Amino acid sequence: MLIKSFTRFVLVIGFMAFISSCNKTNNNVPSINGPVVILTPSQDSGYAAGQVQIDYTASATSGIKRIQIFTQFLSNPKVAVKDSSFSSTKPVIDYNYIYVIPDTAVRGQQSFITFTITDGNGNTTTKTATVTVTGSRPSITATPVTTTANAGDSLSYNVVMKSPDKNIQTLNVAQVIGGASTNLPSVPFSGNSKAESITYKYQVPTTSKSGDKIDLLFTAVNTSGVSNFTSVTITVN
C-alpha cells in the first residue's frame, strides 16, 4: 500500500511538472488545454455482482474544479453517478470509485466508466475505464418459515438459486454454532439448469441450549466453480 501511494505521488508530481513545462512555450500558447487525468486501472474485469475499484488522479495548473462520473452497461444509456464541484480549486485530486457490476451480466459483456474532470479555466479532460465480465456469480436466497426453534425441531427452508452465466451444480450447507463450523451433506444437481429451487430440511441439534444462536450458511456453486452464499440465523428457545 505504501509503495502504491508513493508511486501515485511521484506520478502526480511528474504531471504537475509536465504541465508547467508545456505551458511555458515560446509563443506563450499552452500545449495542454485540460487537466492531466490517469485511471488505475483503465482496463479491469470481474464477476457479475462483484465490485471493481478504479483510482482516478488529476492535476492542472489552474486547479481542479469539477468531477463528473458516468457509468454505462453495454449500450444502455449513460447514468450520472457523481457530479460535484469544489468551492475552491484543488491543484491535485486522488480518489477512487467503486463500481458494482450488474448481477445480470454474463461473460464477455462490458461496462464503461467515464470520468470527466474540469479545471479552474473550464477546460475538461475525459477518460474512460472498461470493465469486462469474466463470469457470473449465482444468486441464492433461503427463506425460513421461522427464525426460532426448540432443540430437536425440524425446520424447512425454501432455497432458490439462479445463475445467469453457467448452470447450478451444487448446494453446500454448513452450520455454525458457537464459532464452530460443521459441513452438512451437500445437495448435487445435474448441472443442466440455470435455476434450481428446493426445500431444504434442517434438524436443530438435540444438544442445543436455550439462547444458542445457530447460523446456517447456504452456498450455491455453478458449473464454473463460482459460488455465492446466504445465511440465516436460528435462535434456540
Q: What is the 3-state secondary structure (H, E, C) of the chain?
A: CHHHHHHHHHHHHHHHHHHHHHHCCCCCCCCCCCCEEEEECCEEEEEECCEEEEEEEEEEEEEEEEEEEEEEECCCCCEEEEEEEEEEEEEEEEEEEEEECCCCCCCCCEEEEEEEEEECCCCEEEEEEEEEEEEECCEEEEEECCCEECCCCEEEEEEEEECCCCCEEEEEEEEEECCEEEEEEEEECCCCCCEEEEEEEEECCCCCCCCCEEEEEEEEEECCCCEEEEEEEEEEC
Say whether both 19 and 81 belong to one domain.
yes
Residue 91 and residue 144 share a domain? no
Please tell me whether residues 106 and 8 are part of one structural domain: yes
Residues 40, 113, single domain; the answer is yes
Is the pLDDT confidence value at 75 over 70? yes
| Assigned domain for 224 exists | yes
pLDDT of residue 106: 85
**pLDDT category of residue 145 using cuts at 50, 70 and 90:** confident
Q: Which residue has the higher pLDDT, 58 or 166?
A: 58
Q: How high is the pLDDT of residue 89?
A: 97
Asked if 158 contacts 171 with a C-beta cutoff of 8 angstroms, the reply is no
Give the integer Cα–Cα distance in Å for 170 and 222.
7
Count CB neighbours of 107 within 10 A.
Answer: 15
Domain membership flag for residue 8: yes
Residue 182 clears pLDDT 50, i.e. is over it: yes
Pair 73, 105: CB distance under 8 Å: yes
pTM over 0.75: no
Of 135, 153, 173, which residue sits at a domain end? 135
Q: What is the CATH number of the domain that holds 101?
A: 2.60.40.10
Residues 147 and 172 in one domain: yes
* Domain match, 123 and 155 both: no
Asked if residue 206 is part of any domain, the answer here is yes
Confidence at residue 21, expressed as pLDDT on a 0 to 100 scale: 45
**Facing residues of 7 across strands?**
none
Residue 6 included in any domain = yes
Q: Is the pLDDT of residue 74 over 80?
A: yes
Task: Give the chain's domain count.
Answer: 2
Tell me which amino acid residue 37 is.
Answer: V
* Residue bearing the bigger pLDDT, 125 or 105: 125
Contact 171, 200 (CB under 8 A): yes
Q: What is the mean pLDDT of the chain?
A: 88
Q: Which domain holds residue 93?
A: 2-23+33-135
- Position 32 scores a pLDDT of 57
pLDDT for the residue 104: 82
The pLDDT of 73-78, averaged and rounded, is 97
Among 108, 135, 162, give the residue marking a domain's end. Answer: 135
The pLDDT score that the predictor gives to residue 27 is 38
- One domain, residues 117 and 162: no
Find the mean pLDDT for residues 206-230.
Answer: 95
Q: Would the pLDDT of 169 be above 70? A: yes
**149 is a domain residue:** yes
Q: What percent of the chain has pLDDT over 70?
A: 86
In a domain, 28, yes or no: no
Domain boundary pick from 135, 164, 195: 135
Same domain, 154 and 230: yes
Query: Does one domain contain both 107 and 157?
Result: no
The answer on 125 and 228 residing in a single domain is no
Does residue 79 register a pLDDT over 90?
A: yes
Give the mean pLDDT of 90-99: 98
Region 19-43 average pLDDT: 65
Q: Are residues 163 and 47 in the same domain?
A: no
Residues 147 and 203 in one domain: yes
